[in-house]
Amino acid sequence: MSTTTTDTSPPREQFTGQVGFILSAIGSAVGLGNIWRFPGVAYENGGGAFLVPYVIALLTAGIPILFLDYALGHRFRGGPPTAFRRVKKWLESLGWFQVMICFVIAIYYAAIIGWALSFFVYSFTLKWGDDTAGFFTGDYLQLSDTANGGAWFTLDFVPAVLIPLVLVWVATIAVLVGGVAKGIEKANVVFLPLLVVAFAVLVVRAVFLDGATDGLNALFTPDWSALGDMNVWIAAYGQIFFSLSVAFGIMITYSSYRKRRANLTSPGLVVAFSNSGFEMLAGIGVFAALGFLAHEQAVAVADLEGITGPILSFVTFPAVVSEMPAGPLFGALFFGSLAMAGFTSLISILQVVSAGFQEKFGLTRRKAVLWIGIVAAVLSVVGFSTTTGLIALDTIDNWSNNIGIVASAVLMCVFLVWLLRTSPELRYHLNTVSTFQVGRWWYVCVGAIVPAVLAYMLVSRIVDLVQNPYEDYDETYLLYAGWGTLVVLVVGAVLLTLPRWRRDPDSYVAWPPYPPVTTSTTKGAAR
């Protein structure tokens, strides 16, 4: 059976092999959230006891939905719009919804990497001084004082934010122009080992600091009563879900760049456990450092503030670095790690957008990357290098992640598993090309557990956002920047579905055929 019926489509790019794919997928999964989200979430949700729902969530949601993404992208050989359309024509808009999510995330994610680059440079002189909070929001971001009548949106650009942000975009575009093998894969082959080594050095140093054991006690001492709290389980599923870069197109796109006869599930297990392994490393490093900070300030770890999110990285960690012996070195290691982790994720996020446009509009890689990159860079600079950039980032991140991505995942599971009954075909695909066989348990995970947990998260988050203004921000601002983001995602998805495809995506015939034909099998690897 032929793999495609026409030869009008160009050759699809490929990773050079299994290692290149695995490194790139890990580079995508390991991002800012591994470093600044996991430790705080674990600490606030039962400490050591959190690891029980965390591991269960990894096995019942993270890995199954990662396999779902891999199967979709690999079987239907395209970015999300192509892959979903090849499942069912009307599902293309869900693919564009995922592309839109990636586009929106990319424009603010780049800004955080820009901050990390700035702080990498500041580390050498400990430029933030003693008042790290004042330095971050005041001296560095020059944040608009909205509490005292300051504007919610300005075009007052902050050069210290703008310049590294532009550099991030130049580097991102340069990598993506290089293509999958010569750009994305090479960047990951360089940056991922560097990231692991730099972070490992940081963690080893942190655990030998005075007070480190207090921090580790705080992180790992189990509060078993937390296991009876539904919110702790939701937090665990949320952490796994957001951390693995699943259900918004990245893994669909990456797996579409593997050769047809490629192992999917076993590399998927390596990626999933690597992501969690890095989170564990980050948890140990961050809490050892927080224990040291508490020790230096003669307070309990529980009394520290800012143990998660950007405040952990750009306010609390600089305070740690200032107190540490050889602080400039370890500051540079931390912010360098943050920048590398973010960068390898950013290129994967933008590749989803690039792939979608290349495939639908018949653009060359260079043209797609340049156009998308330049538009994204301009929006990124206008929205996030100004005195209101942090507020916009915080708001748009909340809506695009907690509603956009979660809704995308729920819709994906419901449509594929329940409405279109595609899961047996996808499982067959996984098992035919892979060495690790996926059992029927997978149906339960992607058909029941994942959509149920995520639907609960989605509804409770929407109710919360409707009832309580996010972060007590101005309600009109939230209407435009928060709910407006959702409108942009949906309208963008619809508008991008409407144009005609430059190359017919529907003449594609998936391999291996399903239902399977009972002919003899060929021995040996693919040509």
Partner 1 sequence: MTGPAILLMLCSLVVVWGGLLVSILALRARPERADFPEGGLDDRREDDAITERDT
Residues near partner 1 (CB under 8 A):
1-3, 8, 10-14, 16, 18, 47-49, 51, 55, 179-182, 213, 216-217, 219-222, 259-263, 266-267, 269-270, 273-274, 276-277, 280, 284, 358, 362-366, 432-436, 511-513, 516-517, 519-527
Question: For partner 1, which is the closer residue by CB, 337 or 358?
Answer: 358
Question: For partner 1, which is the closer residue by CB, 154 or 266?
Answer: 266
Q: How many CB atoms lie within 10 A of CB 116?
A: 24
- State the minimum distance, in angstroms, from the CB of residue 276 to partner 1: 5
Question: For partner 1, which is the closer residue by CB, 80 or 331?
Answer: 80
Which letter, b or e, does each residue of 202-235 get, where b requires 16 or more Cβ atoms within 10 Å of its Cβ? bbebbbebebbebbbebbbeeeeebeeeeebbbb
CA distance 383 to 302: 35
Strand partners, 258: none
- State the minimum distance, in angstroms, from the CB of residue 229 to partner 1: 17
- State the minimum distance, in angstroms, from the CB of residue 513 to partner 1: 7
What is the phi/psi pair of residue 512, to 5°? -75, 155
Question: For partner 1, which is the closer residue by CB, 154 or 435?
Answer: 435
Question: For partner 1, which is the closer residue by CB, 59 or 133?
Answer: 59
- State the minimum distance, in angstroms, from the CB of residue 455 to partner 1: 27
CA distance 482 to 180: 33
Cβ atoms of 59 and 234 within 8 Å: the answer is no
Classify burial at 469, counting beta carbons within 10 Å of its beta carbon; exposed 0-12, middle 13-18, buried 19 or more: middle
- State the minimum distance, in angstroms, from the CB of residue 507 to partner 1: 16
- State the minimum distance, in angstroms, from the CB of residue 233 to partner 1: 17
Structure token pair of residue 427: 């499982």
- State the minimum distance, in angstroms, from the CB of residue 428 to partner 1: 10
- State the minimum distance, in angstroms, from the CB of residue 61 to partner 1: 15
- State the minimum distance, in angstroms, from the CB of residue 254 to partner 1: 14
CA distance 359 to 338: 32
Question: For partner 1, which is the closer residue by CB, 183 or 383?
Answer: 183
Opening angle at CA 98, ends 238 and 77, nearest 5: 110
The alpha helices in 244-384, defined as continuous H runs, are 250-256, 265-297, 309-311, 317-323, 327-361, 365-384
* Residue 160: alpha-carbon gap to chain centroid: 25
DSSP string, 243-272: HTT-SSSHHHHHHHTS-SS---HHHHHHHH
Question: For partner 1, which is the closer residue by CB, 63 or 346?
Answer: 63
CA distance 122 to 86: 49
Question: For partner 1, which is the closer residue by CB, 69 or 359?
Answer: 359
Structure token pair of residue 470: 């996010």
The alpha helices in 50-181, defined as continuous H runs, are 51-57, 63-76, 80-87, 92-123, 132-134, 159-177, 179
Structure token pair of residue 178: 């290089």
- State the minimum distance, in angstroms, from the CB of residue 200 to partner 1: 12
Question: For partner 1, which is the closer residue by CB, 55 or 167?
Answer: 55
Question: For partner 1, which is the closer residue by CB, 228 or 524?
Answer: 524
Question: For partner 1, which is the closer residue by CB, 74 or 461?
Answer: 74
- State the minimum distance, in angstroms, from the CB of residue 288 to partner 1: 11
CA distance 482 to 499: 28
Q: What is the DSSP letter of 520?
A: P
CA distances from 8 to 5, 77, 301, 511, 512 (A): 9, 15, 62, 18, 21
C-beta contacts of 437-440 below 8 A and 24+ residues apart: 437/265, 438/67, 438/265
- State the minimum distance, in angstroms, from the CB of residue 175 to partner 1: 14
Q: How many CB atoms lie within 10 A of CB 134?
A: 13
Question: For partner 1, which is the closer residue by CB, 267 or 482?
Answer: 267
Cβ atoms of 271 and 29 within 8 Å: the answer is yes
| Cis peptide preceding 512, ω within 30 of 0 | yes
